[in-house]
Chains A and B, each alone.
Chain A
Amino acid sequence: EPEVTQTPSHQVTQMGQEVILRCVPISNHLYFYWYRQILGQKVEFLVSFYNNEISEKSEIFDDQFSVERPDGSNFTLKIRSTKLEDSAMYFCASRNKGLYNEQFFGPGTRLTVL
């Protein structure tokens, strides 16, 4: 069964460094998403991406974040200058065309900022 994959599973970085989290969505999906879950808190929507552009973003998704689909398979989230409060689990998701189709989630990348 096709699935969303994410790498790395765990990333440790120093405050102020740039990180790139990678995702491979399900191959025929057209909509891509990033969510984050700070330890002990809710899963929060960050951004959605369709047709090579951001279609929706939350207040959390400020100028330090960016997303990109550099090729036909990868979908990345870049954090330019990490802060301690960026430490969280980051989930990638994708879905197929069709308003009621569900989002399929990857296993997540745990980001730890020291």
Chain B
Amino acid sequence: AQSVTQLDSHVSVSEGTPVLLRCNYSSSYSPSLFWYVQHPNKGLQLLLKYTSAATLVKGINGFEAEFKKSETSFHLTKPSAHMSDAAEYFCVVRGGGADGLTFGKGTHLIIQP
């Protein structure tokens, strides 16, 4: 069975400063890992995905994530936050032969002007 733990329910940063959203996963098999973003009243949009190729994954809007098997982590980072980054972020795992995705609880990112 898979599980995902997002370590922070809320993260607040100032515009122009780095963003770090933390995620740890548990999976019996080599997982695929994703970060999705949800803006208010919008659907879930894929930011980036890891599927056993390069461990450092670059996504849209300047986000990237590093897969660290030894730490079972897949933290999301961005060097410089923008006001438009304010949203809910979900770390997601797929593995163990299952096709359905397992979501973390989400991290609400707040950007201070």
Closest to B101 in A: A45
Asked if B99 and A48 sit within 8 Å, CB to CB, the answer is yes
At the interface, yes or no: A65 with Cβ under 8 Å from chain B?
Answer: no
Given contacts A33-B101, A58-B100, 10 further A-B pairs with CB under 8 A are: A4-B43, A33-B100, A47-B100, A55-B99, A91-B43, A102-B34, A103-B46, A103-B101, A106-B43, A107-B43
A107, B104: Cα distance in complex, Å: 19
A58, B2: Cα distance in complex, Å: 13
Asked if A107 and B49 sit within 8 Å, CB to CB, the answer is no
How many Å from the CB of B96 to the closest CB on chain A?
A: 11
Asked if B43 and A48 sit within 8 Å, CB to CB, the answer is no
Closest to B106 in A: A42
At the interface, yes or no: B54 with Cβ under 8 Å from chain A?
Answer: no
Asked if A42 and B36 sit within 8 Å, CB to CB, the answer is no
How many Å from the CB of B61 to the closest CB on chain A?
A: 15
Instruction: Please tell me the size bucket of the interface on B.
Output: 20 to 34
A58, B90: Cα distance in complex, Å: 20
Asked if B43 and A42 sit within 8 Å, CB to CB, the answer is no
Asked if A102 and B49 sit within 8 Å, CB to CB, the answer is yes
Instruction: Please tell me the size bucket of the interface on A.
Output: 20 to 34
Residues in B neighbouring A91, C-beta threshold 8 A: 43-44
The list of the 10 closest CB pairs from A to B, nearest first, reads A45-B100, A105-B44, A100-B51, A43-B103, A107-B43, A105-B43, A102-B46, A48-B99, A42-B103, A42-B105
Asked if A107 and B41 sit within 8 Å, CB to CB, the answer is yes
At the interface, yes or no: A31 with Cβ under 8 Å from chain B?
Answer: yes
Residues in A neighbouring B49, C-beta threshold 8 A: 100, 102
A56, B2: Cα distance in complex, Å: 15
At the interface, yes or no: A25 with Cβ under 8 Å from chain B?
Answer: no
At the interface, yes or no: B32 with Cβ under 8 Å from chain A?
Answer: yes
Residues in A neighbouring B101, C-beta threshold 8 A: 33, 35, 43, 45, 103
Between A and B, 23 residue pairs with Cβ closer than 8 Å are A3-B43, A33-B100, A35-B101, A42-B103, A42-B104, A42-B105, A42-B106, A43-B44, A43-B101, A43-B103, A43-B106, A48-B100, A56-B98, A56-B99, A100-B32, A102-B34, A103-B46, A104-B46, A105-B36, A105-B43, A105-B45, A107-B42, A108-B43
